[in-house]
Chains A and B, each alone.
Chain A
Amino acid sequence: MPNINDLSHHARSCATQLGIHKFDIYGSTVDETSVQVDRGTPKQVKASNRSTVTVRVWNEHQTMGVTTTTDLEPSGVELALKTAYEASFFGVKEHVPDFSPEAAVPIADSGTKTPQANVSELITTLLDAEKELLAAHPAIAGVPYNGLAQRDIDKIYLNSNGAMRTEARSYASIYLYTKTEEDGKKPRSAGAFRISQGLPQLDIDGCLKETAKKTISHLNYEKVKSGKYRVVFSPDAFLSLLGAFSNIFNAQNILDNQSLSTPDSLGQQIASPLLCVCDDALHPDNVVAPTFDGEGTPTRRVELMKNGVLSGFLHSAGTAKRLQQEPTGHAQIGAKVTVGSHFYHVFPGVPAKQEYSLANAEKVILVDELQALHAGVKALQGSFSLPFTGWIVENGKYTSIESATVAGDFLKLLQSIIFVEHESELTAAGVCPKVWIDDLSITGE
């Protein structure tokens, strides 16, 4: 990506020539390298350096148009401005998006980058991890899905009123998914994921050990009888489900009638008082930690649910204005500004009358990882029916479940929470403890 000052200067002069007086630009450059290995040899190495910007233009009637482009040469920026201007005449006439009132508010942290490791180090690291995993148990026949990646991201926001922001971040990530083969048994699979600011900080050993432990725990499996069970969601599983039903908190979805909430839902008890949820882009455990959103609004911690009461929404500048609230830094710009979460922080609310533990639970289902959320979640109906990996846990003994689905209604699930554990775990979607829920339908045999 060209230097932000050059891009700003060029965009301004182009806009002036085209008679455009109001515009903004949000974009990023990604420089990434990733490797995969296959049974002791490098499989594929990918490297990419690409830039994308989204240009918004307001015309003399104050309607707005947008164009996204990867061509940041002067001719590309000019074409994007022209196309956005053309599109602006078909933009909405009510609730037209505008600059964020916070687009120029100072932000202290513009991020830092970690030097990228060289490719040979990435390959060696992943080959070693694969080798160690294959040696962890004779049944582990392969690690068919694996990857080690490092990424530098530079983001910019600027507008014709003089707002200008940049942010630089680096992160590295690893995933390992095994496949087992044993005579007379079905193949089994398990995996883990880790992310950090750079390769030196990446917990590869933790990823490896978690993958091995989970894989081994699934080797001996049983069918589970269909019925209603007390179910414990792992942090990853609970956050997957929360993310799939995030329209509950999403102000744009609410205004579009594409949500299980309405503007009047604020202040209502929608979950057990045992549950609190925040979205916190700047949480110390959030590796990506964006400091501003697509409209240049600074990110912040937003309380979404306090003791089960819906207490906040995620906003863009436009939704905040319409609902007479403050922007929260969750805008993703486009012809239609959308809203998305950053990093959930789930924690216990009011103290539970009774605390539970997997060490002495009588018979519960521990859902470790939900699958096929794109297919099994009806986000607008509030229902879900999802395959999962997990265990039947009885007095501390874990027995892998051969295959099963968990189904229910999300709002009912929130009300059926009987315990939110104290100890949180870090996942890609946020930090969260295990969450216990009564009476969920499990389909097994």
Chain B
Amino acid sequence: MRLSAYPSTLLSKELPNLQYTSTADRFDETWEATLSTLLGAGRAAGADFIEFFLERVNYISCLAEDDQITSIAPRLSKGAGVRVFRGKADCYVSTNDLSFSGLKSALEKGLAILGLQLPAPNSYIPEINLEPLRDYAALKKKDNWLSECSSMREMGEVLLSANAQLKLEASHVQSRRALYFRDCQEVLVAASDGTFARDIRLTQSTGYNLLCAEGAHRSSISQRAGDTSDPGFLRLWDYKSAAAEIAQAAGQMLRADYVESGTYPIIMANEFGGVIFHEACGHLLETTQIERNTSPFSEQKGEKIAHESLTAWDEGLSSTAFGTIDMDDEGMPAQRTLLIEKGILKNFLADRAGSWRTGHPRTGSGRRQNYTFAAASRMRNTYIATGDYSVEELFASVDKGVYCKRMGGGSVGATGQFNFSVEEAYLIENGKMTKPLKGATLIGEAKEIMNKISMCSQDLALAAGFCGSISGSIYVTVGQPHIKVDSITVGGR
């Protein structure tokens, strides 16, 4: 610990003159004195709980359009948020200023919002004993990850090669885009319960957007892969397979008919098909929704809320998945949380405040986009578990329905009503895929649809995604095996 002034008994009047020498470009043990002093000051002011979240981000994105790199965009960011609780009320103040005085100002603003102020000049500031720094970045040797990632030059070379491959594979191309981003986030959490933890998260993603046109017919297909553990991820991107896959999908959808609206049985593909569970159920198991009284499942823990064929998990532990975290944004180690077991609701996803307010145990699910957001209960890697059926058996059970091979995004509203768009769909007739369909939207109510997922196959696979909610946009994984939904409203023409 390096500090020039850290008296064992600190008086409030000494706060303005304290000089700390925390490391400028790294969150390490040298931040302990700064943060424990401020946490002590906050407690002395009368706050019940205080948490600091410090963040530094080194982000870059790269875009290739057709045969040239049209954007390389670095972003450097640093900031901190302080959350102050008084009873069940809380406030959150964020700032770009990581100096002692900057953090102190943010704390004072937070205290003032809750009707508190720093103690009188001759009051003692209680010591907050932070735990020895729990440094996941050091434990997992992540400190060099950023320097091991692809250089700007390499990003450009890989994306141009990828786009050239797509040109070879696709026909009727109007535009080709290959994208990559790397988000390296260093975080430090310190709280008045003694939490003191650091991590580095390296999130990378590559993908394609392909637009094909022939006369008045158009199709656009997107594809994305993501990773959280391999600095060499871009170098290993199998863009040849990805290009072949989306070229085929765009070709199929170019002259597809619009789906006829109605109620159908559907089969949803694995991987990103898991967005149905994410939207229709996952969000409603977050304590954020329980607090707002917007979840139909609030009082149903231990009860059957889904078909007995359905088991579902949310976890932060899968080694490479897009929603994997070693600790959440409140410093709690990641966990594996069983949400539903054979149709029975087992657990909710809780952050610290959600746990206090609802009584459900914390699950390491406190997540946020960046320092400008307070953490909230959010999903990580969320998926329906493998079932007993083969994919062939699922298809064989459908006389007339829709196969949703590639899903777009979706959302769920305050009443539990959800919707998803389908990017690539096919008509199923007598158990066989017949013709491609476009323009489909799946609409339903969470409570009803969960009992209609009647068959799960054995080919569980995950896909990278982004989830926007109360604490911003975060990286998540959705997943499932192929599943059958007995009936659902399909919006179309």
Contacts and interface: CB of A to CB of B under 8 A. Distances in A.
A325 interface: no
Contacts of B419: 371-372, 375-376, 387, 405
A387 B441 contact: yes
Contacts of B258: 383, 407
A438 B61 CA distance: 43
Interface stretch (A42-50, A234-242, A347-355, A427-435): A42-50
A444 to B, nearest CB: 9
A210 interface: no
B491 A375 contact: no
A45 B439 CA distance: 41
B443 A387 contact: yes
Contacts of A71: 76-78, 96
B421 interface: yes
B interface majority secondary structure? strand
A383 B75 CA distance: 34
Given A144-B414, A381-B219, A92 B79 contact: no
Contacts, number: 208
Contact of B93 (A46, A68, A372, A380): A46
Interface stretch (A3-11, A75-83, A199-207): A75-83
Interface string A48-70: 11111000000000000111111
A226 B233 CA distance: 47
A417 B266 CA distance: 35
Nearest to B73: A335
B121 interface: no
A142 B440 CA distance: 33
B441 A385 contact: yes
B394 interface: no
A256 interface: yes
Contacts of A69: 75-77
Interface stretch (A185-193, A273-281, A295-303, A357-365): A185-193
B95 interface: yes
A407 B76 contact: no
Chain A interface residue bracket vs B: 35 or more
B137 interface: no
Contacts of A385: 421, 439-441, 491-492
B223 interface: no
A50 B94 contact: yes
B410 interface: yes
Contact of A375 (B291, B441, B490): B441
B69 A92 contact: yes
A90 B153 contact: yes
A67 B68 contact: no
A67 B76 contact: yes
Nearest to B87: A41
B161 interface: no
Interface in B366-388: 372, 374
Interface in B475-493: 489-493
Nearest to B372: A48
Given A144-B293, A257-B174, A443-B492, A70 B220 contact: no
Interface string A86-126: 11001111100000000000000000000000010000000
Contacts of B112: 119
A335 B73 CA distance: 5
A129 B159 CA distance: 52
A364 B65 CA distance: 44
A45 B110 CA distance: 9
A429 to B, nearest CB: 19
Given A256-B65, A258-B211, A443-B489, A188 B415 contact: yes
Contact of A45 (B79, B92, B152): B92
Contact of B94 (A41, A48, A68): A48
A386 interface: yes
Nearest to B175: A257
Nearest to B68: A92
B292 interface: yes
Nearest to B420: A375
Contact of A87 (B74, B79, B88, B438): B74
A335 B438 contact: no
A443 B74 contact: no
Interface in B149-168: 152-153, 156
B42 interface: no
Contacts of B12: none
B9 to A, nearest CB: 31
A334 B73 contact: yes
Contacts of B71: 334-336
B48 interface: no
B297 to A, nearest CB: 13
Contacts of B114: 45
B292 A186 contact: no
A71 B293 CA distance: 40
Given A69-B77, A403-B443, A441-B261, A335 B72 contact: yes
Contacts of B63: 335-336
A90 B489 contact: no
A267 B289 CA distance: 50
A412 to B, nearest CB: 11
B292 A142 contact: yes
B134 to A, nearest CB: 26
Given A381-B219, A405-B491, A387 B70 contact: no
Contacts of A51: 96
B405 interface: no
B408 interface: yes
A372 B414 contact: no
B439 A86 contact: no
Nearest to A34: B92
B417 interface: yes
Contacts of B409: 372, 374-375
B90 interface: yes
A381 B218 contact: yes
A71 to B, nearest CB: 6
Given A66-B73, A381-B218, A179 B79 contact: no
Given A44-B92, A50-B95, 15 more contacts: A45-B89, A46-B91, A70-B96, A92-B70, A94-B68, A186-B415, A372-B410, A375-B421, A376-B421, A387-B443, A405-B441, A405-B491, A407-B261, A407-B439, A443-B261
Pairs A-B, 5 closest by C-beta atoms? A405-B491, A443-B261, A335-B71, A45-B91, A336-B71
Interface of B: 63, 65, 68-79, 88-96, 109-110, 112-114, 152-153, 156, 174-175, 211, 218-220, 258, 261-262, 291-294, 372, 374, 408-411, 413-417, 419-421, 438-441, 443, 445, 489-493
22 contacts: A42-B89, A45-B90, A45-B114, A46-B94, A67-B74, A67-B75, A68-B75, A76-B76, A87-B73, A142-B292, A144-B292, A179-B414, A186-B415, A256-B175, A257-B211, A372-B421, A375-B421, A385-B441, A386-B441, A407-B441, A407-B492, A441-B492
